[in-house]
Structure 1
């Protein structure tokens, strides 16, 4: 299976795993609860569809990180820091779990049908191709599902 969220097979794999996620699944690492994790992923994924940011200069460090993270490392490392604007600890009640899970499913299903280029620069990898976005999106979601044992 291609581990790229732009492919239907990858989406189906992710969706079958998220069905096993429950509100009280404890995290294996990190501070987010399951609802906060879903909100975090939803914010990141929604940003792809709302992208309006112009391309920026990609640094050599970003280029190297992209190669390692997307093509060499099998998974994203535990405990890596992301965009501070997408931190969700304490920002949502656990009672919103079902709503966040439904939004997660809806957003995830949209990726294979998304035919336009994704031009949003990645916060850690700089300017990346649409295909690389598909890989990064899959690895990001996989990272958080593994965080909750699913």
Structure 2
């Protein structure tokens, strides 16, 4: 699995984000392009802020989903989205895509960070797991919009 900490993988993700167009159509799911770009910002913000939320993650999520967050298997279409990461509001795709690109670069710049707070859903993750999980999430949603 690629990691968003790797320059080549980060540049690949940025190129794919740059190839999104206002008329890019989703291949599955319900999110519009703007909603998807908005949604993809949250996992990056969690990592970048690196704040201890006091949460260690839901036991079910940690036992059954955590490994799939950073293993080599591609996520299937139509996975459920956590309610906190959903929006029903329309989002301006151009604005949200620019914010997303900024966050991707900020996350990549943390490649030498040694201390990571627990993820609020998955609990403790290693540096390697953070990088793979962020790449995998973005890859999933970019595939959703066929880029």
Structure 1: 4+ residue segments shifted above 3 A: 57-61
- State the match for 1:66 in structure 2: 66
Superposed, 1:128-147 pairs within 5 Å as 128-147=125-144
Match of 1:104 among 86, 94, 100: 100
Q: Tell me the CA shift for residue 64 of structure 1.
A: 4.7
Provide the aligned length of Structure 1 versus Structure 2: 144
Q: Which has the higher contact order (CA 8 A, sep 6+)?
A: 2
The gaps in structure 2 that reach 5 residues or longer are none
Q: Tell me the CA shift for residue 50 of structure 1.
A: 2.3
Distance 2:57 2:82 in 1: 18
What TM-score does the superposition give when structure 2 sets the normalisation length?
0.85
Q: Tell me the CA shift for residue 103 of structure 1.
A: 0.8
Q: Which moved more, 1:129-138 or 1:44-53?
A: 44-53
Asked whether the 8 Å contact 1:43–1:86 carries over to 2, the reply is yes
Q: Tell me the CA shift for residue 57 of structure 1.
A: 6.4
Q: Compared with structure 1, are the counterparts of its residues 61 and 85 closer, same or farther at alpha carbon in structure 2 (3 Å cutoff)?
A: closer
Asked whether the 8 Å contact 1:57–1:126 carries over to 2, the reply is yes
Q: Tell me the CA shift for residue 80 of structure 1.
A: 1.3
Q: CA RMSD in A?
A: 2.1
Asked whether the 8 Å contact 1:55–1:119 carries over to 2, the reply is no
